[in-house]
Amino acid sequence: MVRCSAVDMPDEWARYQWVFTTPDGGPRLAGTDVVHLRRSLIDQIIVFAGEIEPSAP
């Protein structure tokens, strides 16, 4: 799993995109995590994820 975007942090919300790939090039999962910060601590995490096509050989 790797982060594939910069962290965007307007006010108390932060978001970034990520990709998870299996070593054999199988199904990949990509998504965006959105977190809410309160007093510099994460108090909510919202995950948007979905399968994308396998990477080309």
pLDDT at 56: 58
Cβ-Cβ contacts under 8 Å for 16 (sequence gap 6 or more): 3, 5, 6, 7, 8, 32, 33
> Which stretches in the chain have pLDDT values below 70?
26-27, 52-57
The domain spans of the chain are 2-52
14-36 per-residue burial string, b: 16 or more CB within 10 A, e: under 16? ebbbbeebeeeeeeeeebebebe
